[in-house]
Structure 1
Amino acid sequence: MTVMVQAETERRGTHRARVLKGAVLRFNRGYAALDAVMRNQSDGGAQLAMGDTSGVPGQFQLHVSGEEAARTARVVWRNPARIGIAFTA
């Protein structure tokens, strides 16, 4: 029996580097925040890990440990413990 496996198509436009950085997602005009760990990052987006992603809104401000400026991000995909984001500004 022969099994053909098609490779997944890479949808990212840029390479993501593995990182391990603390991050805070801020939303609701800065009144709400969630802690996360950035697992990989590129110029266009990142993957964030957290205990539960159900409370993460579709768009938020991302504050990354060691970086001065916050970035606006939107959720591209999610599972119960991780989200993939794209930087929008």
Structure 2
Amino acid sequence: MSENRNSVRTRALKGARIVYGNGSMTRDCTVRNLSAGGAKLIMQSTADIPDFFDLLFDDGARHRCVVRWRKLGDLGVEFAENPR
């Protein structure tokens, strides 16, 4: 399988929150792997998650995200601060 990432992802198990709708809507998720340029998020369902949102980590870090791929309970996101 070809690897298209600009940086290597490492395994992670971090709590985070997807924030969208001008901050009025949130969804809890878990970060399963992480790199300088993006992350894999897992949650119950990806239904209703928009293609652009903020990801707020439990430690206070925040990233603007663009969805690059999605499955039923997984999202692959790229941090907008590091566009392809």
- Please give the TM-score of this superposition, normalised by the length of structure 2: 0.93
**Structure 2 counterparts to residues 10-21 of structure 1, below 5 A:** 10-21=3-14
Identity of aligned residues (%): 35
Q: 1:49-68: CA deviations, max 9, x gaps?
A: 000001110000100112x3
1:25 aligns with 2:18: yes
1:73 aligns with 2:65: yes
SS where residue 56 of structure 1 aligns? coil
Distance, in Å, in 2 between the alignment partners of 1:81 and 1:17 is 20
Distance, in Å, in 2 between the alignment partners of 1:17 and 1:73 is 18
Tell me the residue number matched to 1:82.
74
Unaligned runs of 5+ in 2: none
Runs of 4+ in structure 1 displaced over 4 angstroms? none
1:44 aligns with 2:34: no
Aligned with residue 57 of structure 2, among 49, 55, 64: 64
Instruction: Report the AA paired with residue 12 of structure 1.
Output: R
Instruction: Report the AA paired with residue 41 of structure 2.
Output: L
> Normalized per residue, which structure has more strand?
2
Tell me the residue number matched to 1:53.
46
Say what the alpha-carbon RMSD is for the aligned residues.
0.8
Unaligned runs of 5+ in 1: 1-7
Larger radius of gyration: 1
